[in-house]
Structure 1
Amino acid sequence: MEKLRAIIVDDEANAREALANLLHIICPEVEVSGQAKNVDSALELIRHQQPNLVFLDIQMPGKSGFDLLTYFEKIDFGVVFTTAYQEYAVRAFRVSAIDYLLKPIDPDELQTAVEKYKAQMTSITPQQVTILQENIQNPKANSLKERLKNEHQRIALPTAEGIHIVQMNDIIQCESLGSYTKFHLVNQKVIVVSRLLKEYEEILDNYYFFRVHQSNIINLEHIKRYVKGDGGQVWMSDNTEIEVSRRRKEDFLALLSEFYVNSGKLA
């Protein structure tokens, strides 16, 4: 079995040793070829060792894990962030499609992260890091006004062909296809991602989207018309017609009304 070379970057010695021990027990195919306590020593270590994987802490004195990645024009190694961030930060990682492990690290989640890297052998892009950074610094929106401020942010959509970076306001709707989610974008573009619609409901909750039906999440910005009915239907900017479930109708109409008021648009 070919070994994967890994480097652990964390300012806490106990955290580095704990992760190294877990990797030795859970993932024997991963060889920890070095450890670093700060960005400067990590930079030298990565350039010298050329690892396959870097387990990277975000919060460190002086320079952060984000700062480390800015030194590389091309990030040609896998990155798994290790972080003590909770709640809203989980959404940030999902938006950027970057792997993460919450501290204290769960052995099963560690094994899953390594297996995912082995299966895809992918590295992250600078754009993904930027998206992650933007969303870490912008916690969950608590009102529609705050959601509207996020309209120019982006989302990373992982597919078999690679990572697609998409503007939030270019998404018309998301459609459930079993264990896949189909993104309908402006200009008739479509992207299919191997993740459940439920996951994207949690991600897009921070923006101006609403799940009108078990199978559909829509972008309020792209609604052309609402037709009354038992639940009703919405006509989207791409001329698709989407049912609104009866049990979601009241919440949807309330949010839609608030959207028009806060966005300065007239219904």
Structure 2
Amino acid sequence: MKQHLRAIIIDDETNAREALTNLLALICPEVEICGEAKNADLGIELISKVKPNLVFLDIQMPGKTGFDLLASFEKVDFGVIFTTAYQEYAIRAFRFSAIDYLLKPIDPEELEAAVAKFKSQVASVNPQQLQILQEHLDPARSLRLVQRTRNDNQRIALPTAEGIHFVQMTDIIQCESLGSYTKFHLVKGPAIVVSRLLKEYEEILDNYYFFRVHQSNIINLEHIKRYVKGDGGQVWMSDNTEIEVSRRRKDEFLLLLSEFYVNSGKLK
């Protein structure tokens, strides 16, 4: 028997609410829509009255945003799946925060997967996740996408079976591929293993000083101790591990390494 869920939809677009309601009825009949709201204030009232398990929440609405709505609750004890028309840089922001989202127009398969994931975890959104998401949705940040950004003061949310780990990017030494998993080697504490492909983190970290030197490794340039020349060469990391640089990625890697040293002031 499928788990029954009580849900509400908060979105300022009538067509968007209707489309999502119809999709849920077709592919997720176990999700009962207990109400709709066209803005954040009405959404706050509806949540307090209905006490749903799950809220489908638009981010951009007239007046208060979806973030403002969540901030009004002392404790967010319901699940949230954001529905958004944001594109490009926003996808990276959601991945950084490990928060579920659906891009409009909503794809039926992605909707089904998001609901299934929520049912398997039944977890509310952590305030730190929201903060990371908001930081990365900053419009000023999107204008800098063509440039690499320093790793300082940046955090990333890493979802594991035990829960969400919040990690400073400066503490990541390297990301190692373990098949369909990615292992994060950190400065302190045990490594963290996440059930996501290395390629996904290559895309997430693309605008920071991380580089995929090999099919199996993404390294943090801040933690390189030395580079040994060779066919592709090798890098020695701050934890004394040695990582091969593939021959086809060597030139791009050395160019980025030079840029990093100049921008960090380590190369005069």
State the TM-score, normalizing by the size of structure 2.
0.96
1:224–1:235 contact (8 Å) kept in structure 2: yes
Partner of 1:131: 132
Residue aligning to 2:13? 12
Q: What residue identity is the alignment partner of 2:102?
A: L
Q: Is the 8 A contact 1:74 1:125 kept in 2?
A: no
Alignment of 1:142-153 (within 5 A): 142-144=146-148, 147-148=149-150, 150-153=151-154
CA distance in 2 between partners of 1:75 and 1:209 (Å): 34
Residue of structure 2 equivalent to 1:248: 249
Consecutive unaligned residues in structure 1, runs of 5 or more: none
Separation of aligned partners in 1, 2:45 and 2:33: 16
Letter of the 1:206 partner, please give it.
Answer: N
Distance 2:218 2:244 in 1: 11
Q: Partners in 2 of 1:75 and 1:156 — Cα distance?
A: 18
**8 Å Cα contact 1:141-1:207 kept in structure 2:** no
Amino acid aligned to 1:205: D
1:228 equivalent in structure 2: 229
Q: How does 1:251-262 map to 2 (within 5 A)?
A: 251-262=252-263
Q: Is the 8 A contact 1:74 1:126 kept in 2?
A: no
CA–CA separation in structure 1 for the residues paired with 2:201 and 2:152: 16
Match of 2:239 in 1: 238
User: 1:168 maps to which residue?
Assistant: 169
Partner of 1:66: 67
What is the alpha-carbon distance in structure 2 between the residues aligned to residue 192 and residue 91 of structure 1? 20
Query: Quick one: distance in 2 between partners of 1:207 and 1:73?
Result: 34
Task: Tell me which amino acid in the other structure corresponds to 2:239.
Answer: D
After superposition, residues 41-60 of structure 1 pair within 5 angstroms as 41-60=42-61
Of 229-238 and 70-79, deviating more is 70-79
Identity across the alignment (%): 77
Cα 1:141–1:151 shift into 2, 3 Å: farther
The one-letter code of the counterpart of 1:67 is D
- Paired letter, 1:169: T
Counterpart CA distance in 1 for 2:244 and 2:75 is 44
Q: Counterpart in 2 of 1:155?
A: 156
- Shift in Å at residue 189 of structure 1? 2.8
Q: For 1:218 and 1:58, locate their aligned partners in 2 and report how far apart those are by CA, in whole Å.
A: 33
Secondary structure of 1:187's match?
A: coil
Residues paired across the two proteins, number: 264
**1:178 match:** 179
Does residue 106 of structure 1 match 2:100? no
* 1:193 and 2:194 correspond: yes
**RMSD between aligned alpha carbons?**
1.2
Deviation (angstroms), 1:48 = 1.5
Instruction: Show structure 2 runs of 5+ residues with no match.
Output: none
Deviations 1:187-217 (A, max 9, x none): 2431000000000000000211000000000
- Quote the residue 2:34 is aligned against: 33
Specify the code of the residue in structure 2 equivalent to 1:143. Answer: Q
1:143 positional shift: 1.9
Partner deviation per Cα, 1:94-129 (whole Å, 9 max, x = no partner): 010001100011111111110111111122101000
Runs of 4+ residues deviating >6 angstroms? none
SS in 2 for 1:72: coil
SS in 2 for 1:67: helix
Contact 1:151 1:207 in 2 (8 A): no
Relative to structure 1, the CA distance from residue 2 to residue 177 in structure 2 (aligned partners, 3 Å threshold; closer, same or farther) is: closer
